[in-house]
């Protein structure tokens, strides 16, 4: 029950989706559509896992009074405020939208904008032409940066943006395609292993 049934379910659903993909028969396409619909219906429930795990983590922090446990109360405060503002009247309620626009958006955007400072600091401290490969990386990054900005074209008319475009269209494209091919072959073989029950790590 605990091990075999999930493996059988995974196999059946996987095989049915592959077979129905190749059959244009009406019944086959209806099956494909219905099962894809089932996947869609199950998917929002995955959030339950994430939310439960987060609540458990912060609840444990409060119970054990670990260092900075008081901030876990802030997590619960923020969560409760949003749920109370949004759940009764829906996400279109002005209070919910106000909280989103004036609290959540500024914090989220600012948090990620910190990376601009760290990227500048890292570029200064770690971006060294120590080896041939590191030099290639550094030179490419500089050319793309100059090509990305209008000042680049002002300093070297057309050359800056053309050089950037050539790098993106040629060597970058080849490297990315190599990665796509490698990753996709890996993902496809992993999917086959999952359907056949060889890969079982998702069962925990």
Q: Quick one: tokens of 100?
A: 């989103």
Minimum distance of other proteins from residue 155's CB (angstroms)? 10
Of 167, 118, 120, nearest to 140 by C-alpha is 167
Q: How many residues form the binding site for other proteins (CB under 8 A)?
A: 141
By the 10 Å C-beta count (0-12 exposed, 13-18 middle, 19+ buried), 183 is classed as: exposed
Interface with other proteins in residues 56-75 (CB under 8 A): 68, 71-72, 74-75
Least distance from other proteins to the Cβ atom of residue 65, Å:
16
Interface with other proteins (CB under 8 A), residue from 51, 60, 63, 198: 51
Structure tokens at 101: 């626009």
Q: Which residues have a Cβ under 8 Å from the Cβ of 7 and sit 6 or more positions away? A: 197, 200, 203
Residue 86 touches other proteins, criterion: CB under 8 A: yes
Listed residue (98, 71, 69) closest to 82, CA to CA: 98
Q: How far is the CB of 202 from other proteins (least distance, A)?
A: 6
| Interactions with other proteins, residue window 1-20 (CB under 8 A) | 2, 5-7, 9-18
Q: Which two tokens stand for residue 186?
A: 């890996």
* Residue window 126-165: x/- pattern of binding to other proteins, with contact defined by CB under 8 A: -xxx--xxx-xxxxxxxxxxxxxxxxxxx---x--x--xx
| Residue in 23, 66, 178, 198 binding other proteins, rule: CB under 8 A | 178
């Amino acid at each position: 029950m605990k091990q075999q049934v999930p493996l059988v379910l995974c196999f059946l659903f996987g095989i049915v989706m592959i077979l129905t993909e190749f059959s244009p028969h009406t019944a086959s396409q209806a099956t494909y559509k219905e099962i894809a619909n089932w996947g869609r219906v199950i998917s929002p429930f995955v959030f339950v896992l994430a939310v439960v795990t987060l609540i458990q983590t912060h609840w444990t922090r409060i119970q054990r009074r670990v260092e900075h446990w008081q901030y876990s109360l802030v997590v619960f405060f923020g969560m409760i405020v949003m749920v109370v503002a949004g759940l009764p009247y829906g996400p279109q309620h002005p209070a919910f939208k106000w909280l989103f626009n004036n609290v959540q958006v500024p914090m989220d955007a600012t948090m990620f904008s910190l990376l601009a400072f760290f990227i500048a600091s890292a570029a200064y401290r770690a971006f060294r032409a120590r080896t041939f490969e590191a030099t290639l990386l550094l030179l490419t990054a500089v050319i793309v940066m100059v090509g990305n900005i209008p000042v680049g074209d002002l300093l070297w008319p057309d050359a800056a943006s053309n050089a950037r475009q050539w790098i993106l269209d040629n060597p970058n494209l080849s490297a990315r395609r190599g990665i796509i091919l490698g990753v996709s072959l890996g993902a496809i073989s992993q999917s086959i292993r999952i359907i056949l029950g060889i890969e079982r790590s998702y069962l925990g």
